[in-house]
Structure 1
Amino acid sequence: MDRLRPADCLPVLPPRPRFAGARPVTPELIGALGIALLLAILAAGVPIGVGLLLVGLGGLAVMISPEAGLIKLGVVSFEVISKYELGVLPLFLLMAHICFAAGASRDFFDVAARFVGHRRGGLALASIGGCAGFGAISGSSLATVATISSVALPEMRKANYHPGFAAGALAAGGTLGSLIPPSGALIVFGIIAEQSIGKLFAASIVPGASQAVFYMVTIMILCAFNPALGPATARVPWGERIAALRHVVDIFLLILFVIGGLMIGWFTPTEAASVGVVAALLLLAFRGGFSLATIGEALRATLRTAGMIYIVIIGALVFASFVSVSGITEALSGAVTSLHASPIVAILAMTLALLLLGSFLDGVALMLLTTPIFLPIAEQLGYSPIWFGIFLVRTMEIGFVHPPLGLNIYVIQGLAKDLSLGTIFRGVIPFLVADFLHLALLIAFPVLTLWLPGLVAG
């Protein structure tokens, strides 16, 4: 992919004085004020793409000239819309929506429920497995939690599961959709940070699998101490288990072919997404769901989502240009270096900042706001940008279940209106503990993230 450098195509002009007789305003101060303004307008409910664009344009206009901001907007918009490599995003979205139509969500949960439903907390374990499987198709936390919850939550409540425990497991499991490839968040990070999407996908496999294991262990521990949280259901005969397994073989082979082919170098990311769309269409036809209405709805949903994401990407690149010109990242890097703190202390400080911001910003806003600021600092400290992308998305996921925003919590509450937000937030607390332990593991042992990308071609 050609590099989209934030400061490309900006005219080099001296900054114009703003206040006669006043002390000069430093570029770093303007950058800090711009970030504070962005946080304020996002908290006021302005869409993230619009907010990034307005602050980025305004900052460039103040620091250089209004013409520079407009030039940058035109260049970035043209590159984002016309760049071949960026076609990977809508193609993976289309593949996901076609798989939705093929009934993948219910199939993944049914298979997991038949295999482990007879154990204590078995349906909660099945919901984690269903979220992991469906996350490998959807690439979205919100889509995963909404789809799997619509199938799993009624079944768990029918089996007399504790409502808060059931909702907490689903809210946490839904976050797997943001990390397991093909992750939409990792695609956006790869575009913004100019990193290999194939290597980001490879790097996410071990963290995604271990995250699911942490959630499952949490469920087993809770149910061991309090079996009433998740009563066992009737054991399903092996014949029915094998029959259910056949329903997901085709989808599993689709995921394995697309993601595996991408990671071992058979396809570029765009080619992998294209192959995935064709294979998903064949799968839909094989399952008897192919129709003009189904394809039309998948295309409409893809265009709505992709259009929103493209606006966000354009706004993020313009904002990154402003941040780059202001020099605030260099100032922050210098401040971190001057403290002579160890890299792990700096990363822990970033983690606390991300968790604080994640308590009132949605995940995409958090990632696009902080990547231009924190990534250069992490690289200066010696951290791989691939590892940082996984760390950022993993921290972002916690925001999906972290009060007071916790978008996954509100999705579940929308599906089960009789459950209070307090009940769901209390149910998710044990899974938040598992999240923090898992994040600490990834920080302490970066090799868990980096060993697989080292084997990936390209």
Structure 2
Amino acid sequence: MSSVFVGSVGLALLLVLLLMRIPVAFAMFAVGFIGIWILNGLQAATGLLSSETFALASNSELIVVPLFILMGNVASATGMSRKLYDAAYATIGQVRGGLASATVIGCGGFAALSGSSVASALTMGRTALAEMDRFAYSPRLSTGVVAAGGTLGILIPPSTGFVIYAILTEQSIGRLFMAGILPGILLLTAFLLTIALLCTLKPELGPRGPKTNAREKGRAFLGAVPILAIVVITIGGIYSGMFSPTEAAGVGAALVILIGAVTRTLTLRVFWDAARSSIVTTASVMLILIAAHMINPFVALSHLPAEVSRLLVALDFGPFGTLVVILAIYLVLGCFLEGLAMLVLTLPIFMPVVLQLGIDPIWFGVLVVLTLEMGLISPPVGINVFIVKSVARNVELLDIFRGVLPFWLAMLLTLALLVAVPSLSLWLPSMM
């Protein structure tokens, strides 16, 4: 029985377990441990389990995960994220489709705080859906906007997706954060243009909201200043070299807590709930990372990456053609697998090919993370769609999927542009 055969069976079994909704970490633990046991013996499997668990748990770079998650949870619990929406709403809410555009901008701002697409969709769904319903927005447009806007959380830094990619591929977290800024702004702009086009073609989808005077606009912007300042300080600190990503996470979390305490919106009860939620999320991420360090050696021992690399090189598509093939595979997998599972399952196979063909790993990381975003609103899994459904219980699931379709197409066009113009992703990292 060849190692390649064992590896293929192992990955097929992992895919089956994931489709059966077995938790990602447990599925990877089981397949990785048993696979290493078969290929390299029980002692190697148990030794790797203990050593990788300790090494990963003591990795200081991973502190960014709980700190950025805590920053986002505190910002959400204290109403700071709502103020971003209020500022955008006061500015463009009175134009046709303005409430939907304000929701997308609010999602982008919240994404810059939380780094989580699920948190963005859930928070903005609770905030914005009621407002759009009050002004007779089409449920298809309103739910589609929230589901699609929430995906910005995995691209606009600080992004948990970039942190996981950096750890799995040994790339710079700071450079990946910088690489995601322009693509994130580009995608947000594409969403705004999509809303404008839809509401131009069908004005009944997004009626005009109430007008606000200069005083109301000023008050809304004043409320959003602290949050915008935190985003500028953390991301600007990384870009200027003042902070490492870990230090920026600590500064951001401390500032959000300080502002909440000063404004008296952060009580001990609110902080306890935010901290507990952050611990649960962090534990889930850590389990997946530890499991990833079990499955990756198994994949390496099976020699699957070398075989896939040999196959793709033999097809002679060239670097560009091979990249398109890999991204197409990610788009298909995104219809069935959760994002982190996709990263852990595929990067050990595709990364050697990417490096061999001379494709920039930072650029590749941005493209991969964007395809993961598309998976968040792709049927049948589309976790953001189900998150929005949990808030908008009166809207049919099929209508939400129809609502996200124009935004999925906008994401596909953005992906094509980023593939065609690599400098959109690489310009800011090159200036660091």
- TM-score, normalised relative to structure 1: 0.93
Q: Cα offset for 1:339?
A: 1.3
**From 243, 258, 261, the counterpart of 2:219:** 243
Match of 2:331 in 1: 355
Q: Which residue of 2 aligns with 1:293?
A: 269
State the partner residue of 1:424.
Answer: 400
User: Counterpart in 1 of 2:162?
Assistant: 186
Measured in 2, the distance between the counterparts of 1:68 and 1:248 equals 54
Q: Which among 213, 223, 227 is matched to residue 203 of structure 2?
A: 227
User: Alpha-carbon deviation of 1:247?
Assistant: 0.5
* CA positional deviation for 1:316: 0.7
Separation in 1 of the partners of 2:267 and 2:99?
A: 33
- Matching residue of 2:128: 152
Indicate whether 1:407 and 2:395 are aligned: no
Structure 2 counterpart of 1:369: 345
Q: Which amino acid aligns with 2:212?
A: V
Asked if 1:57 corresponds to 2:30, the answer is no
Q: Which residue of 1 aligns with 2:74?
A: 98
* Cα displacement (A) at 1:59: 0.9
Secondary structure, counterpart of 2:317 in structure 1: coil
Q: Which of 309, 313, 323 pairs up with 1:337?
A: 313
Give the equivalent residue in structure 2 for 1:313: 289
Counterpart amino acid of residue 293 in structure 2? L
Q: Distance in 2 between matches of 1:455 and 1:137?
A: 23
Q: Is the 8 A contact 1:102 1:287 kept in 2?
A: no
Q: Provide the alpha-carbon RMSD of the alignment.
A: 1.0
**In structure 2, distance between residues paired with 1:286 and 1:245:** 19
Query: Structure 2: which 5+ runs fail to align?
Result: none
For residue 228 of structure 1, report the CA deviation from its aligned partner: 0.6
Amino acid at match of 2:372: M
Question: Within 5 Å, which residues of 2 pair with 1:131-150?
Answer: 131-150=107-126
SS in 1 for 2:192: helix
Greater Cα shift, 423-432 or 25-34: 25-34
1:226 corresponds to which letter in structure 2?
A: K
Deviations 1:384-430 (A, max 9, x none): 11111111110000011111111111111111111001111111111
1:279 to 255, 279, 303: 255
> CA shift at 1:102, angstroms?
2.3
Partners of 1:101 and 1:284 within 8 A in 2: no
Higher helix share: 2
Q: Provide the residue aligned with 2:105 in structure 1.
A: 129
**Matched residue type, 1:281:** I
Hey, what does 2:138 align to over in structure 1? Answer: 162
Counterpart code for 2:278: T
Counterpart CA distance in 2 for 1:129 and 1:229 is: 19
Distance in 2 (alpha carbons) for counterparts of 1:371 and 1:189: 8
> 1: distance between equivalents of 2:60 and 2:403?
44
Give the Å deviation of 1:31: 1.4
Q: Deviations over 1:19-60 (max 9, x none)?
A: xxxxxx221222111111110011011101111111111111
Equivalence for 1:394: 370
- How far apart are residue 145 of structure 1 and its match? 0.5
Distance of 2:306 and 2:427 partners within structure 1: 30
1:201 aligns with 2:144: no
Contact 2:107 2:120 in 1 (8 A): yes
Q: Is the 8 A contact 2:143 2:392 kept in 1?
A: no
Counterpart mapping for 1:441-456 below 5 A: 441-456=417-432
Give yes or no for contact 1:102–1:283 (8 Å, CA) kept in 2.
no
Asked if structure 2 preserves the Cα contact closer than 8 Å seen for 1:203 and 1:390, the reply is yes
Q: Identify the range of structure 1 (362-371 vs 419-428) with the bigger mean alpha-carbon deviation.
A: 362-371
Deviation at 1:294, TM superposition (A): 2.0
Structure 1 residues without counterparts, runs of 5 or longer: 1-24
Amino acid at match of 1:314: I
Between the aligned partners of 2:259 and 2:162, the Cα distance in structure 1 is 26
Are the counterparts in 2 of residues 360 and 404 from structure 1 also a CA contact under 8 Å?
A: yes
Query: C-alpha displacement at 1:349, in angstroms?
Result: 1.2
Larger Rg: 1
> Conserved in 2, the CA contact under 8 Å of 1:149 and 1:412?
yes
CA distance in 2, matches of 1:355, 1:146: 24
Find out whether 1:75 has 2:51 as its counterpart. yes
Deviation at 1:338? Answer: 1.1
* Contact 2:18/2:337 (<8 A) preserved: yes
**Percent identity over paired residues:** 39
**Residue identity opposite 2:14 in structure 1:** L
Taking the aligned partners of 1:441 and 1:435, their CA distance within structure 2 comes to 10
Aligned partner of 1:225: which letter?
A: L
SS of 2:112's equivalent in the other structure is helix
| Residue 361 of structure 2: aligned partner | 385
Is the Cα–Cα contact under 8 Å of residues 181 and 201 in structure 1 kept in the other structure? yes
Q: List, as ranges, runs of 4+ consecutive aligned residues in structure 1 with deviation greater than 4 Å.
A: none
Residues 411-452 of structure 1 show CA distances to partners (whole Å, capped at 9, x for unaligned) of 111111110011111111111111111111111111110111
